[in-house]
């Protein structure tokens, strides 16, 4: 994944609410779980 793609995907994922991000952590797709975890950490300051 290119840097631009990474930034775009993370930006899109960060628009989700905390409950939505938590739900995405159950995804079968590893990339979705990765971005959900990163955005959840950003949103909660951990």
Question: What confidence score (pLDDT) does residue 2 get?
Answer: 94
Domain regions of the chain by residue span: 3-44
* 1 has a pLDDT exceeding 90: no
What is the pTM for the complete model shown?
0.84
Per-residue pLDDT tens over the stretch 3-46: 999 999 999 999 999 999 999 999 999 999 999 999 999 998 87
Distance of CA 31 to the CA centre of its chain: 9
Question: What confidence score (pLDDT) does residue 45 get?
Answer: 86
d(CA 45, CA 32): 20
- Contact (CB, 8 A) for 33 and 24: yes
In which element (H, E) is residue 5 found? helix 3-13
């Amino acid at each position: 994944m290119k840097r631009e793609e990474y930034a775009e995907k993370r930006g899109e994922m960060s628009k989700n609410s905390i409950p939505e991000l938590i739900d995405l952590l159950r995804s079968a797709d590893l990339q979705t779980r990765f971005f959900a975890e990163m955005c959840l950490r950003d949103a909660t300051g951990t």
